[in-house]
């Protein structure tokens, strides 16, 4: 039992490494089952160290030989690594190990994907390749020689030399082991070139399997735009002669920022109009940018330890959001980000897995690549920028890059840069990094003698391990509207620092309507006693696009909650407001599509739970269905025109204009199908020349119960394309009736094209089920049972992907006693599985013990 009772690691226990590394030479003799890795590592004692313990991480390695300064040694070997006596002076460590990439189904370390060798080392995968101080504060210059019969053999940095059966690479930039990468296989490149603003020519390649060459063009454009943008906005230039991207089918996450050799889940880089949706294109552009931006925020400046993960991830997500806002529509990006934040991060923050943006302990770091670290981490950067202002933000970032280039840093270093650049004390702001939970911001107001006062009260509920919370600094962007809809007070940022605080606006002729938390200026839950008439007013008049959307969202949410809780009929105030909004041709179609989407089932469940009502997933699903049918009826005279007016007839382009138009026409199609039973959807399906329209039509047909034939036809058309087939798997579950979703998922796990070896395929099925509350939480418990069975089967193969999927169970405390008992029963069953991985054990114990 190698994973028996693993111990947590604590932030407070950080100690500097005993030895530092100057240079690393690696030689790989590639063979699927017996790859040899030879290492030559130049160590020297770390002057800042407190011990001289020479310990190297290493897991699942067969040590062939080891030497120190040429002398053979017999080190002590444990399941975690190697320990030896080492000199108190610089020395050369050499080792030869054997590893088995073919047996590596965990997709961490060196593994095979479709016969291609590839690596994934973040966070602690390098130790599965060779013995090494596998921690991000040990940075070294790597030289790599690859020997094998693969036509293409790549590693980090620049190519040095190559010959028949070998290639050598050198990366001049010191880096931690987690940024190491190697790829070898039968690959072809789409190539291009970029000239940096100082005139350096950079070769760009996107490497793919033969046959996928035509799927790289969009990704390449996204890469060049990202490079230009980082120069223009952050003053950051690329620093090597070569930038390689490789597409890999079997990958645990989205993509990885290895220095000079980014590795991508093929779903996050490959695209053609026929196979990728508009949403896929947007995501590809954002992820290419994200990984590229890591070159400065992550690679040149990295993390001291994994507790500081948000230092690189929060900042890089923030940067890629800014990029998307610049490339596309800023309001649409902001609204989409907030929808995702609430769906994933607020959910996490309100449940048993809640943790601070900078956690203080972990058992398995892979379990902390979370919405809190990434998305809330990005929100903290946005708040900081709003608090100090744009100029100060730019100065602070310049200081960050000059002061810390080449270093492994902490959140303290990050905040100090802002303090030094602005003279501001950020001690209170730091609480955002240290305390988990989403603050509730309660607002009331009064109006006397021309003075309007807003009274705020903040409170953060307890989270696991943190019973009491301190007041945080909250930037609250506020504007005021007059009764005729004119803005009487343009946006100001109020800085709340106390538990309760009031802000007055005087000189007003009449009581204004407040627009609070504009642009979602802080990741909090706003609570304000108001009514649907005021929401409708803001939905019609607010000058802040985010709050305008937010008012419509709240109106829809309140309407649905009243239907669910009291069996009320849909509020005509909502129907009228929504109808007026979709017809307003002055509004961006993408905005209208967003405003037409109903709050998700999960968002409604969150809202019910927050007010003390256990959500009934079936009732929530039925209310959304009922409201959709009512909307289709109420808007019937508009929908056909709306659909036709926004049909794109020009050749397909994944640009913001066409994307917005298709989003709106497809939203209209959904409502039209409620009344015509699928005639229009079938016409769209038959005429579609792109995946966005084909898939939207297919979804409508399935939902209308008319999908059987097209589902078969879609399979026949696309069975050769893994990424499209993933959509086919997922959609059948998402569009099933709640009582049939688990059965549909179970049936699909028996399909010949289903495999546990490919994370995308596993997520397509099980992620779709988890993302469909009425199906997953069906009272029969079938969804829970299937999830448990599949997690038990996947865990021995791929602990990382298994552990991530466990969050499907994180909402158990919301539910009624019957569902709670069913979920906890399944959790216990999984936990009782012999040999369960550390990853999955940690996740399920945290979920259960909340």
Provide the binding-site residues for ligand TRP, judged by CB under 6 A: 120, 122-123, 252-253, 255-257, 290-291, 313, 369
Cα distance between residue 378 and residue 481, in whole Å = 30
**What is the dihedral angle through the alpha carbons of 131, 134, 140, 141, rounded to the nearest 10 degrees?**
60
CB of 291 to ligand TRP, least distance (A): 6
d(CA 240, CA 295): 10
Q: Which two tokens stand for residue 393?
A: 């933000």
Residues 6+ apart with CB under 8 A from 717: none
Select from ligand TRP, Zn ion, none the partner in contact with residue 256, using the beta carbon and a kind-dependent cut-off of 5 to 8 Å. Answer: ligand TRP
CB of 313 to Zn ion, least distance (A): 5
Nearer to Zn ion, 291 or 550 (CB): 291
Contact 158, 169 (CB under 8 A): yes
Beta strand spans in 497-645 (E): 500-505, 513-516, 525-528
Query: Which strands form 188-195's sheet, in the order they lie side by side?
Result: 188-195, 201-208, 242-248, 261-265, 255-256
> Which residue, 257 or 364, is less far from Zn ion as judged by CB?
257
Window 259-298: contact mask with Zn ion (x via CB under 5 A) = ----------------------------------------
Q: Which does 255 bind (CB under 5 to 8 A by kind): ligand TRP, Zn ion, none?
A: ligand TRP
Q: Are 282 and 156 in contact (CB under 8 A)?
A: no
Least Å distance, CB 373 to ligand TRP, is 10
Rg (CA), the chain: 27
Paired tokens of 182: 């190697």
Of Zn ion, ligand TRP, none, which one sits near residue 814, judging by CB under 5 to 8 A according to partner kind? none
Nearer to ligand TRP, 253 or 325 (CB): 253
Please give the span between the terminal C-alpha atoms of the chain, in angstroms, as a whole number: 26
Q: Which does 367 bind (CB under 5 to 8 A by kind): Zn ion, ligand TRP, none?
A: none
Nearest distance, CB of residue 848 and Zn ion, angstroms? 29
Q: What residue 252 binds from ligand TRP, Zn ion, none (CB within 5 to 8 A, per partner kind)?
A: ligand TRP
Answer whether 289's CB lies under 8 Å from 320's CB.
yes
Tokens 């991480």 -> residue: 57
- By a kind-dependent CB cut-off of 5 to 8 A, residue 212 interacts, out of Zn ion, ligand TRP, none, with none
- CB contact set of 384 (below 8 Å; sequence gap of 6+): 393, 418, 426, 429
* Interface of this chain with Zn ion, residues 211 to 240, rule: CB under 5 A: none
- CB of 137 vs ligand TRP, minimal distance in Å: 17
Shortest separation between residue 315's beta carbon and ligand TRP, angstroms:
11
Instruction: CB nearer to Zn ion: give 100 or 313.
Output: 313
Q: From Zn ion, ligand TRP, none, which one binds at residue 122 (CB under 5 to 8 Å depending on kind)? A: ligand TRP
Q: Which of 291, 550, 743, 810 is catalytic?
A: 291
Binding piece for Zn ion, criterion CB under 5 A, among 33-41, 309-317, 414-422, 486-494:
309-317
Shortest distance in whole angstroms from residue 788 CB to ligand TRP: 24
Give the separation between CA 241 and CA 243, rounded to whole angstroms.
7
DSSP class of 571: P
Specify the residue, 116 or 560, whose C-beta has the smaller distance to ligand TRP: 116
Residue 82 interacts with which of Zn ion, ligand TRP, none, CB < 5 to 8 Å by class: none
Shorter beta-carbon distance to ligand TRP: residue 123 or 731: 123
Is 292 in contact with 262 (CB distance < 8 Å)? yes
Which residue's CB atom is positioned nearest to ligand TRP? 253
**For residues 38 and 248, which CB has a smaller minimum distance to ligand TRP in the complex?**
248
Q: How far is the CB of 9 from ligand TRP (least distance, A)?
A: 17
How far apart CA 348 and CA 464 sit, in angstroms, is 12
Task: Tell me how far, at minimum, the Cβ of 584 lies from Zn ion, in Å.
Answer: 38
**Cβ 219 to Zn ion shortest distance, Å:** 17
Task: List the structure tokens of 318.
Answer: 């923030």
Return d(Cα 136, Cα 177) in angstroms, integer: 7
Taking the complex as a whole, the smallest distance from the CB of residue 118 to Zn ion amounts, in Å, to: 18
Name the residue nearer to ligand TRP (CB basis): 123 or 561.
123
The contact pattern for Zn ion, residues 313-342, with x = CB under 5 A and - = no contact, is x--x--------------------------
Q: What would the two tokens of residue 72 be?
A: 């053979």
Q: Phi and psi at residue 629, in whole multiples of 5°? A: -65, -40
Instruction: Identify which of residues 173 and 812 has a Cβ nearer to Zn ion in the complex.
Output: 173
Is 290 or 469 the residue whose CB approaches Zn ion more closely? 290
Cα–Cα distance, 825 to 819 (Å, whole number): 10
Q: Of 303 and 697, which CB lies nearer to ligand TRP in the complex structure? A: 303
Query: Which strands, in side-by-side order, build the sheet including 109-113?
Result: 109-113, 116-120, 182-185, 152-155
The listed partner (Zn ion, ligand TRP, none) that binds 120, CB under 5 to 8 Å by sort, is ligand TRP
- Told to judge if 291 belongs to the known catalytic residues of this protein, a careful annotator would answer yes
Could you tell me which of 761, 711, 755 has the C-alpha nearest to residue 732?
Answer: 711
Q: Report DSSP state, residue 12.
A: G
Beta strands in 30-181 (DSSP E): 35-45, 54-57, 62-68, 71-72, 76-77, 81-84, 91-99, 109-113, 116-120, 140-147, 152-155, 158-163, 166-175
Which residues 6+ apart lie within 8 Å of 642 measured at CB?
582, 583, 664, 665, 668
C-beta of 316 vs 458, nearer to ligand TRP: 316
Cα separation of 413 and 301, whole Å? 11
Judged by CB under 5 A, the stretch of 305-313, 600-608, 706-714, 811-819 that binds Zn ion is 305-313
Residue 223 beta carbon to ligand TRP: minimum distance, rounded to whole angstroms: 15
Instruction: Kindly write down the DSSP assignment for every residue of 250-276, as one continuous string.
Output: S-SSSEE--TTEEEEEGGGT---TTT-
Q: Are strands 474-481 and 408-409 parallel, antiparallel or unpaired?
A: unpaired
Site size toward Zn ion, by CB under 5 A: 2
Produce one character per residue of 536-572: b if its CB has 16 or more CB atoms within 10 Å, e if not. bbbbbbbebbbbbbbbbbbbbbbbbbbbbeeeeebbe
Q: Which stretch in 25-33, 71-79, 312-320, 522-530 sits in contact with Zn ion by CB under 5 A?
A: 312-320
Give the containing element (helix H, strand E) for 834: none
Closer of 313 and 379 to Zn ion (Cβ)? 313
Peptide bond into 123 cis (omega under 30): yes
Q: In the bound complex, what is the minimum distance in angstroms from residue 145's beta carbon to ligand TRP?
A: 25
Which residues bind to Zn ion, rule: CB under 5 A? 313, 316
Catalytic positions are 291
């Amino acid at each position: 039992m190698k994973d028996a009772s693993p111990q947590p690691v604590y932030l407070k226990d950080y100690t500097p490494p005993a030895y530092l590394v100057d240079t690393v030479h690696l030689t790989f003799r590639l063979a699927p089952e017996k790859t040899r890795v030879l290492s030559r590592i130049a160590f020297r004692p770390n002057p800042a160290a407190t011990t001289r313990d020479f310990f190297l991480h290493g897991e699942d390695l067969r040590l062939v030989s080891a030497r120190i300064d040429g002398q053979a040694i017999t080190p002590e070997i444990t399941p975690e690594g190697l320990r030896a006596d080492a000199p108190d002076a610089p020395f050369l460590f050499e080792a030869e190990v054997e590893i088995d990439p073919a047996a590596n189904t965990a997709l961490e370390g060196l593994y095979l994907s479709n016969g291609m060798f590839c690596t994934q080392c973040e966070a602690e995968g390098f130790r599965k390749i060779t013995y090494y101080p596998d921690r991000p504060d040990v940075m070294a210059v790597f030289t790599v020689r690859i020997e094998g019969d693969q036509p293409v053999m790549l590693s980090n940095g620049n190519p040095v030399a190559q010959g028949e059966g070998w290639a050598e690479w050198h990366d001049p930039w010191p880096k931690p082991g987690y940024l190491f990468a190697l790829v070898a296989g039968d690959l072809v490149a789409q190539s291009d070139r970029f000239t940096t603003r100082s005139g350096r020519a950079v070769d760009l390649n996107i490497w793919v399997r033969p046959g996928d060459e035509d799927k790289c063009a969009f990704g390449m454009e996204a890469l060049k735009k990202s490079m230009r943008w980082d120069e223009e906005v952050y003053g950051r230039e690329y620093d090597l002669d070569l930038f390689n991207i490789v597409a890999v089918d079997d990958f645990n996450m989205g993509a990885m920022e290895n220095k000079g050799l980014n590795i991508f889940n093929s779903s996050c880089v490959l695209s053609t109009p026929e196979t990728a949706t508009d949403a896929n294109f947007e995501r590809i552009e954002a992820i290419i940018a994200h990984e590229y931006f890591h070159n400065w925020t992550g690679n040149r400046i990295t993390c001291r330890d994994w507790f500081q993960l948000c230092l690189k991830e929060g900042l890089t997500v923030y940067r890629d959001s800014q990029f998307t806002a610049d490339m596309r529509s800023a309001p649409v990006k902001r609204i989409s980000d907030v929808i995702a934040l609430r769906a994933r991060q607020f959910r996490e923050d309100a449940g048993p897995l809640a943790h601070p943006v900078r956690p203080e302990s972990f058992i398995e770091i892979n379990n902390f690549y979370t919405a809190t670290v990434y998305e809330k981490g990005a929100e903290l950067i946005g708040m900081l920028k709003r608090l100090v202002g744009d100029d100060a933000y730019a100065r602070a970032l310049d200081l960050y890059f000059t002061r810390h280039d080449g270093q492994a840093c902490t959140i303290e270093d990050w905040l100090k840069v802002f303090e030094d650049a602005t003279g501001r004390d950020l001690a209170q702001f730091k609480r955002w990094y240290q305390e988990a939970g989403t603050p509730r911001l309660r607002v009331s107001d009064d109006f006397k003698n021309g003075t309007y006062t807003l009274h705020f009260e903040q409170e953060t509920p307890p989270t696991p391990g943190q019973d009491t919370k301190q007041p945080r600094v909250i930037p609250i962007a506020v504007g005021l509207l007059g009764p005729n809809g004119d803005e009487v007070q343009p946006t100001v940022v109020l800085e709340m620092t106390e538990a309760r605080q009031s802000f007055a606006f005087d000189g007003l002729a009449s009581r204004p309507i407040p627009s609070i938390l504009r642009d979602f200026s802080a990741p909090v839950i706003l609570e304000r006693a108001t009514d649907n008439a005021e929401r409708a007013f803001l939905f019609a008049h607010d000058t802040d696009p985010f709050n305008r959307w937010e008012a419509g969202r709240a109106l829809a949410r309140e309407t649905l909650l009243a239907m669910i809780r009291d069996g009320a009929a849909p509020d005509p105030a909502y129907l009228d407001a929504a109808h007026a909004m979709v017809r307003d041709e002055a509004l961006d179609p993408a905005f209208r599509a967003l405003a037409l989407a109903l709050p998700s089932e999960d968002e409604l469940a969150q809202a019910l739970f927050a007010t003390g009502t256990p959500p009934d997933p079936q009732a929530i699903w039925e209310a959304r269905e009922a409201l959709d049918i009512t909307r289709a009826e109420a808007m019937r005279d508009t929908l056909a025109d709306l659909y036709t007016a926004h049909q794109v007839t020009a050749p397909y382009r994944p640009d913001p204009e066409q994307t917005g138009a298709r989003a709106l026409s497809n939203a209209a199609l959904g409502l039209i199908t409620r009344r015509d039973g699928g005639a229009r959807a079938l016409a769209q399906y038959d005429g579609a020349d792109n995946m966005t329209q084909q898939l939207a039509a297919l979804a409508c047909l399935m939902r209308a119960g008319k999908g059987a034939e097209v589902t078969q036809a879609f399979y026949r058309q696309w069975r050769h394309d893994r990424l499209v087939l993933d959509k086919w798997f997922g959609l059948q579950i998402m569009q099933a009736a709640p009582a049939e979703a688990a059965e549909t998922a179970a049936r699909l796990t028996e399909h010949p094209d289903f495999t546990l070896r490919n994370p995308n395929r596993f997520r397509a099925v099980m992620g779709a089920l988890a993302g469909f509350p009425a199906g997953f939480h069906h009272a029969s418990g079938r969804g829970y049972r299937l999830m448990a069975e599949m997690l038990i089967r996947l865990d021995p193969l791929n602990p990382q992907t298994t552990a991530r999927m466990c969050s499907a169970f994180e909402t158990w405390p919301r539910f009624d006693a019957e569902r709670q008992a069913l979920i906890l029963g399944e959790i216990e069953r999984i936990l009782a599985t012999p040999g369960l991985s550390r990853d999955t054990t940690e996740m399920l114990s945290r979920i259960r013990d909340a």
